[in-house]
Structures are given as C-alpha cells and as structure tokens.
Structure 1
Amino acid sequence: MKLKHYFFSLLLVYYFLHIFGFIFGFVFEPLVYFIGEHIFKIDYTFEVNGYGSGDNTYSYLASFCNLLAAFVVAFPVTFLLNKAKNIQVIQNYFFVLLRMYLIFFMLIYGLSKIYPMQFPPIGLQRLEQTYGDSSPMGLAWSFMQYSQTYTAFAGITEVLGALLLLSRRTMTLGALVLTGVLTNIVMMNFCYDIPVKLSSSHMLLAALILLLSDYKRFINFFVLNKEIKAKIHHNGFENGEEPKAFFLGKVVLKAFFAVGITTYFTIQYFSYKDEMEKKPLLYGIYEVVPSEENTATYRSFIFDRYDTGVITDTNYKKNIYSYKVDTKTKTVTFDGSQDTTAVKQVFKYQKTKDELILTTTSAKKIHLKEKKGEAILLTYRGFNWINEYPYNR
C-alpha cells in the first residue's frame, strides 16, 4: 500500500463526511454522544444545535468521529485506488468536490459582506458600550461594522476567489487568493474567539490542498525560475471528450453557484433593505436629565433597531430588553430581558422637540434628552484626507 495513496484516501473520506455529514447525522449522532460520554468523559449537557456557534461541543466531537471513520474507511479506499487505472482522474474529482465546497461558502460569506447582512451598521447599544465591556468577538464585530466599505472589500475578495475556482483553468489562482483570505479569517477567528474556528480551518485546509496540488509548478515558477507547461486535466472520458449531458450539468452547476446564490442574496437584501434601514419611532440614546422631579432609579435609555432596548440604572447596570411601542395608547413596554433579574416595565411616553418624557406606573416622570450624533465620536469623526496630528482617542 502506497502511503501517499492512503493519505489521499484519508483526506477524500474525511472531507466527504465533513461536507455531507448531515446525510449521515442519524447514524453519527448516537455515536457522537457515546464518544463524548465514555471516551472524553464529558459530564455536561450539549446539543447538536450550536445556535450560531460552529465551535460547540457536538461539532468538535462530530469532527473527531469523522476523522476516526476516515482512518478506517481509507484502508479499503486505498486498496481500490491501487487497482485504479488512472488515480489522477479520482484526484481531479476530489478537487472538484473541494472547489464546490469552497465556492458555496465563500459566495455566501462574501455576498453577506458586500450586502451589509453579516455586519450591519453598529447598533446604539454597542456604541454606548465600553471597550472593557466588549467581548473579543464583539470588538471584532464592531471593527467590521464600522466601515461598510472595508467590509464590502473583504467580501469582494472572498467572491473573487470563489469565482476563480469555477474554472479549472483558474483554480490555482483562486486557491491562492482564498488561501490568503482564509488565513486572515482563521487568524481573526482564533485571536478574537469568534466561534467559527472549526469550519474556517476546514475551508483553509481545503484551499491549501488545492494550492499544493500544483506545488511542483509553483516551485518551478517562483523559486527555480523555470518555464512551466500547461496543466493537463484528466476527466476520465475516452479521448478526453466530455458527453454533452456532462458538459451541460457542469454549466448548470456553475450557473447555480455564480448566478443562483448571487441572485438569492440580492433579492434577500433588497427585500429587507428598507426594514433594515428603518429607524424605530423612539430610536436613539437618551440620558436622564437630573432634576428634583426625575426618579433616581434610571441613568439612560436606548431604543435601538430590531426592537432592542437597554435601560441603565444609576449603578451602571445595563438590562437588555425587547421593547414595543404602542402609538395608540402612547406606551412603551420593555419585556423579555436577557437578564433574569430584570422585570417588565411599562411607561407612558411623550415626545417633544427637545426631550422624551417617560411616565412610570406610579406617575413619576423621567425627563430624557437625546444624545446627538456629534456626541458619539466613532460615528461623527468620519473620514479625513488630511490629519495634521494623529487623532487617536
């Protein structure tokens, strides 16, 4: 048995299980929980759903199971490969699998950055939060959310790499682009504790496999300064001629990736664009105006997008709520707090030109003054071609 054939079989089986793992979920799920309990001695409860986290316990255990299965299944696959007439054909189709895998996710992540869906504008709650109160992921998110132009640029590089992978002629260039892009993404995920470390590492490894498949030509061109010949692609068909049905299938698949996913994200974005940009009725950051009439319980109120509100008390304790405004009864209700110690609160509201007045159920009035844009340096400073001195605050 050739070691390089076994290593190739290992990668082939592992990525097949990784990409199509959802199909075998009903088989692997009991095994994952068994290994977690009896091998790793995990004594806490964990779920299949990571609720947005790709680094949950189940994901790591599932990857471990995939690796174990790949080590075992790679033996019979290697035996078959050793008997294959042209192993390069199988290798090329494995590269097709990796290309489709990368194209799919890079287009999704890239387009969600070009259209500000993954990183929408910074919320008011985040603007009022101190650096010290930010999580590492929250800090990274704020960085990306600040400049939609930079975020769109990052998305364009991901889409560019994906589109280059659509053709085998530009596959190596696409793998080179995505290796650089994904290296930055993986470093950011690890250094800022963003919970997609596992999935992004799989993507980076896939890009590296595609890139290293052409390592000899790379060395000849970049190191040895030698002339390189065109790479011959083996499709496994007689005389290298593809049947029309096979060719049309490739065209449809490429159209799905290049046009279908792009069209889907474009429709999604413009369908929700107005709703995303719409500001709620009481939108803003309001600070309590000190007075004898005002109650001493509250310090500030935030009415953010997506019905999210924050009430800060005089001890600087922030309670995050969902809120609803009833324009008929002129009431605002703060409910569903993420902090179990917080209680439901209902206020009557009155909006004037200069202030917002909230009235509690005990008839106490809270006078609030809106914090204007110029008071928030991050959003007010803007871009400056000329800086006589560094404006670093």
Structure 2
Amino acid sequence: MEFKSIFFRKIATFSGIFLLQFILFFPLGFLTNLQLKATYFIFGDFTQFLLENLLNKKNNRIDYSSDSCSMLILIIILLITSTIFSFLIKKKWTKSFLLITEYVCVIYISVILIKYGVDKIFKTQFPEPESNILFTKFGNLDKDILFWSTIGTSKIYNNITGSIEIFSGILLLFKRSQFLGLLIAMICFSQILIINISFDISVKFFSLILLLMSIFLLRKKGWKLFLKMIKLPKETFLDKTSVLPYKTFLKILILGIAFIKIGMPYLDENFHTDDKINSTQLKGVYQITSSESPYQYVFFHKDQYLIFMEKSSEKMTAFHYDISFDNQIIIEDYQKNISKHLFVKNEKDASIAFSFNHQTIYAKLIPYKEMNALQDRFHVFVD
C-alpha cells in the first residue's frame, strides 16, 4: 500500500514538473517572444546537436513550434529533466508544489481557451477562405486546408465554439465553477486533438499536452462532481491568509497581461476581420482576359501574395508583392528574386493590367463574395 502511494505521488510530481516546464519553455507567440528567446538560450545549442546527430536534421529551423522536430526534441529534454527533478522534490514539499503547479496550469488553460475563443468569434483563427482557395478544386486541397477553409465559411459554428471556449475559460477562474470548466475544457481539447489527427493539422503535440494538462487537473476530482459543485473544498496551502493577497495579485497580473495581449490586435482601428484589405486595396480574384496568357486567374491574397492559376493544369504559382508609389508592382519569388513591372488599375470597371514574363496581362475583377460557400444560409425545413 505504501509502495502504491509513493508510486502515484512520484507520477503526479513528474507530471506536474513536466507541465510546469512546458508552460515555461513552450513559446506562445501571441503573448511575447521572451519565451522563445529564453528557450533558445537554454536549449538551443543542445537542440541543434540532437537534431543533427539524433534525427539527422541539418540546418533545421529551431522555433519549437508545435509538431516541429525542435518541439519533439524539447519534449524529450523536458521528460528527462522532469524525471530527475521528481526524485529531488522531497515528500514534505510535494503537496505545496502540486498545488502551485495546479494553480499555474488552471490559469494557463484559461488563457488558452479565452484566446482561441476570441479568435474564433472574430474569425482570425478560421478566417473566410481566400479567393485562391475557393477557386481550387475540392480534390486538390490538402485535408488541413480543406478543414480550415470549410470551418471559415460558417460564422455560426465559430461563434458557438468560440463562446463555449470563452465560457469554460471564465469558469476556470472561479473556485466553485472550476471543476465544470475543466470538464468542458477536457471535452474541447479531446475534440481538437481528434480533429488535428484526423485532418493532419500541425498542432497535434500542443493539443495533446493541453488535454493531458486538463486530465492532470481532474485526476483527484473526477469522481466528486456533485460534491465539488455543492460544497467548497477544504482549505489548501494557497488559501491561507498569508498567501491570499499574493495569490490574488499574481492572478490579476498574469491574466491582465494575457488579456491585454489577446485584445490589442482587435483594438486596432484598422482591424477588420471580415474584409481585411491591404494598403493597395487589391484583394480577391481577377479573371485574365488576355488570350495569349497561359494563366486563367490571378489572386490577390490579403497578406500581399499574388497567385497565378494556369489554364491547363490549374497549377498555382505564388509571389509576394507590393505596389510602389510610381505604379509599379514589385514581385518577389521564394528564391528572393525581385523584379518590377508596370501596373495599372482602372477604378471604373475594376480591371487591372500589368506586365509579367514579357507580356501584358489584362484581368477583370470577379465578385467571388457571391459564391455559395460564402453565403450565410440556414434552413429549418428542407421543403
């Protein structure tokens, strides 16, 4: 019995250390780049060494993003250090350590849920599909882009799932509703992990760890649902009077910084999620009318990418572009080759003309917003 108790205590301590290290060292880009800098400073050289010698990955990027080789190496390192630290933490420190870890994990999950819930409602996580996606044949789309684009066409789905995530994130911030929030969070993360695996979306590791984090927080409370909802738990280390002021201050500080970071992009007066237009006012799809051109359409992506679709094969070729003050379009390919071309836009009929590959391309704007996939329709009855 004593051995069993020691075993489960060590497992809980190991899990707590791993999750705490993951929160510290896995970079969340929407908060700050300090995490990435710190992680790279501490683990960068060792990660590079392991990538080259263990996975034979030379000149590989090290950004620790989800599902990258560098993230896999980081997880392996954290598992090893967690094993070492779990034997260094004494029994008398275990309870206080786990309470602090649980407190940090709850705030972390709350911030993640609220962040991505807000992103869904404002359609920045699943934006309306770009014109080049809409004009690509269904069978030519990769599974992840197909899923992302399909979800982006439905405002109702984004609003409902986003509201659920925000609701569960808020529930986690209050002691009485924390258990219910964790249950909803576990369901959300389970669904997200299934989607990521099924559609090969590159956040599988991250969503798996978020699911394990919610299970870790529910490990002792899973069979006490009714007791948890009708009765306050016993006083813990973090509830003591001497700790309470610091606990409240830290919660307000951490959540305040996180919510400011989440909200800042949406407070920008130039921010408009439904129709984000670049400074040149070029967006959408243009049908090429030049008969001698090998291209059928040219697409202008909101992130200032110019994409050609060929007539014969429907192959797409992308370039980054900008418009200069002297009415020239500056095109840059993926090999960093830059070229300038004459560009003319007719405001009356919304047509454009520009030189490319030793020919002049003429194209007219197509109202792609009228396509069926972008219409918000809801039918109660089929007849």
Give the TM bin, normalised by the shorter chain: 0.7 to 0.9
The alignment's TM-score, normalised by the length of structure 2, stands at 0.82
CA displacement at 1:350 relative to structure 2 = 4.3
Listed one character per residue, the Cα deviations across residues 6-53 of structure 1 (whole Å, up to 9, x for unaligned) are 111211221222122355654433433444444x35344323215xx4
Secondary structure, aligned partner of 1:72: helix
Secondary structure, aligned partner of 1:312: strand
The residue number in structure 2 matching 1:336 is 332
> Percent identity over the alignment?
17
The residue number in structure 2 matching 1:384 is 378
The residue number in structure 2 matching 1:285 is 285
What is the rounded CA distance, in whole Å, between the counterparts of 2:301 and 2:97 in structure 1? Answer: 54
Secondary structure, aligned partner of 2:307: strand
Secondary structure, aligned partner of 1:369: strand
The residue number in structure 1 matching 2:320 is 322
Change in 2 beyond 3 A, CA 1:308/1:229: closer
Change in 2 beyond 3 A, CA 1:342/1:137: farther
The answer to whether residue 46 in structure 2 is matched with residue 48 in structure 1 is: no
CA displacement at 1:118 relative to structure 2 = 2.3
The residue number in structure 2 matching 1:60 is 72
Pick from 22, 40, 43 the counterpart of residue 28 of structure 1: 43
Secondary structure, aligned partner of 2:298: strand
CA contact (8 A) 1:358 1:366 kept: yes
What is the rounded CA distance, in whole Å, between the counterparts of 1:345 and 1:297 in structure 2? Answer: 20
The answer to whether residue 124 in structure 2 is matched with residue 117 in structure 1 is: yes
Secondary structure, aligned partner of 1:306: coil
Change in 2 beyond 3 A, CA 1:355/1:365: farther
* 1:205-284 paired onto structure 2 within 5 Å: 205-218=212-225, 230-236=231-237, 241-243=240-242, 246-256=243-253, 259-271=256-268, 273-274=270-271, 277-279=275-277, 280-284=280-284
Q: What root-mean-square deviation, in Å, do the aligned CA atoms of Structure 1 and Structure 2 show?
A: 3.2
What is the rounded CA distance, in whole Å, between the counterparts of 2:210 and 2:347 in structure 1? Answer: 53
CA contact (8 A) 1:113 1:151 kept: yes
The alignment's TM-score, normalised by the length of structure 1, stands at 0.80
Which one is further off, 188-197 or 101-110? 101-110
What is the rounded CA distance, in whole Å, between the counterparts of 1:109 and 1:308 in structure 2? Answer: 26
Mark the structure with the bigger radius of gyration: 1
What is the rounded CA distance, in whole Å, between the counterparts of 1:228 and 1:287 in structure 2? Answer: 60
CA displacement at 1:309 relative to structure 2 = 1.6
The residue number in structure 1 matching 2:8 is 4
* 1:33-112 paired onto structure 2 within 5 Å: 33-38=48-53, 40-50=54-64, 53-77=65-89, 80-81=90-91, 83=92, 88-112=95-119
Pick from 355, 358, 374 the counterpart of residue 360 of structure 1: 355
What is the rounded CA distance, in whole Å, between the counterparts of 2:359 and 2:46 in structure 1? Answer: 60
The residue number in structure 2 matching 1:312 is 309
CA contact (8 A) 1:308 1:321 kept: yes
Aligned residue identity for 1:285: V
Change in 2 beyond 3 A, CA 1:91/1:282: closer
Unaligned runs of 5+ in 1: none
